[in-house]
Amino acid sequence: MSLFLYIFGYNTPDQIEAFENYGYDDEDSESVFIEAKSEAEALAWGREISREFIRRFYGARGLVWDSADYANWIEADPQRRFTPGVLARTPVVRVGEHPALDERLEQFAQRSSDNEASE
pLDDT string in tens for the chain (119-residue length):
999 999 999 888 788 788 889 988 888 889 999 999 999 999 999 999 998 888 887 776 666 667 567 899 999 999 999 999 999 999 999 999 999 876 767 766 666 555 555 55
Question: Residue 33, Cβ neighbours under 10 Å: how many?
Answer: 21
Q: CA-based angle 65:25:46, to the nearest 5? A: 30
- State the Cα–Cα distance between residues 9 and 97, nearest whole angstrom: 19
Phi, psi for residue 12 in degrees, rounded to 5: -80, 165
- State the Cα–Cα distance between residues 29 and 95, nearest whole angstrom: 20
Q: DSSP secondary-structure letter at 59? A: G
Taking the model in full, what pTM does it have?
Answer: 0.81
pLDDT given at position 118: 56
- State the Cα–Cα distance between residues 10 and 28, nearest whole angstrom: 6
pLDDT given at position 35: 98
Q: How many helices (H) and strands (E) does the chain have?
A: 5, 4
CB 93 within 8 A of CB 46: no
Give the domain range for residue 16. Answer: 2-118
Total structural domains within the chain: 1
